[in-house]
Amino acid sequence: MDPSSTVTIGERTLGSGHTAVIVPLTGASEDELMRQAQAVAEHPLTERIDLVEWRVDLLDDHAQRSADDLTALATRVRQTAGGIPLLATVRTAAEGGAAEVSDQQYLDLVAALSACAAVDAVDVEHRCSTARQAIQTAQASETTVIASHHDFQRTPSAPQILGHLAEMEATGADVLKIAVMPHTPQDVLTLLESTLTAAERMSRPIITMSMGAQGTPSRLCGGLFGSAATFASIGQVSAPGQLPVETVIAVLDAQQAPQGEDR
């Protein structure tokens, strides 16, 4: 991939050819969230984790918390997780999450989180009517933006997947992410083929995945097709099909291992 399409988040670079590992934190309570963050810091493979994603919407009382409360909590999360760069995500119900918010409320949440020094990146759902404003606001705070699109029902055609990624690229986001649900092995191949094409065409790093058990290959070998990152769990998963971080890193290492002579 062209170096011009790389993006640095904290001290980690996406799009360099290395498949970044992102571990989600899904705690429903503050105590559970901190236990999960501590587990990341204490994990034997913590040095191999590139980003921690805090799913803000999965906090039971996120709707009752003020912006100041959430940003203070983000600071605690990053510190407790050992200072690994933090991606803050408010996943709405429309995209499979738990946040029931208006587009304006969504913008306000993203703006508050992106202004927090502890937050290195934010996820912005590109179909939200305030997405462009959210992206510009986050970037004005020097916070990286990952534009996202999720389809939990199906796998769109390759032209449709590429169309979604092109729409996200047009918003000016720094990284482009799409997750789809397969129903057949061909669906997984469609996602991987689209990934390969997008990696060649797009001027931004892309993150793609096929969800569920059937989509497992995309989470393990997506990097070979151009996906800049994969999500892996330490305990609770945040989406169907996520695999343990130990499994993911072992497979990534196997892909990088020197190849023996052909026999």
Residues 6+ apart with CB under 8 A from 166: 202
Residue of 43, 149, 150, 164 marked catalytic: 150
Ligand-binding annotation for 263, yes or no, is no
Ligand-binding annotation for 242, yes or no, is yes
Q: Distance between CA atoms of 22 and 182, rounded to whole angstroms? A: 22
Ligand-binding annotation for 219, yes or no, is yes
Strand, helix or coil at 86? strand
Residue of 43, 126, 164, 177 marked catalytic: 177
Place of tokens 């290492």: 253
Q: Is 150 a catalytic residue?
A: yes
140 membership: H or E segment, kind and range:
helix 131-140
Residue 39 half-sphere exposure, CB side, CA atoms within 13 Å? 16
Ligand-binding annotation for 53, yes or no, is yes
Place of tokens 């587990």: 39
Place of tokens 């799009």: 15
Ligand-binding annotation for 55, yes or no, is yes
The annotation places the binding site at: 53-55, 91, 219, 238, 242
The annotation places the binding site for 3-dehydroquinate at: 53-55, 91, 219, 238, 242
Which residues are part of the catalytic machinery?
A: 150, 177
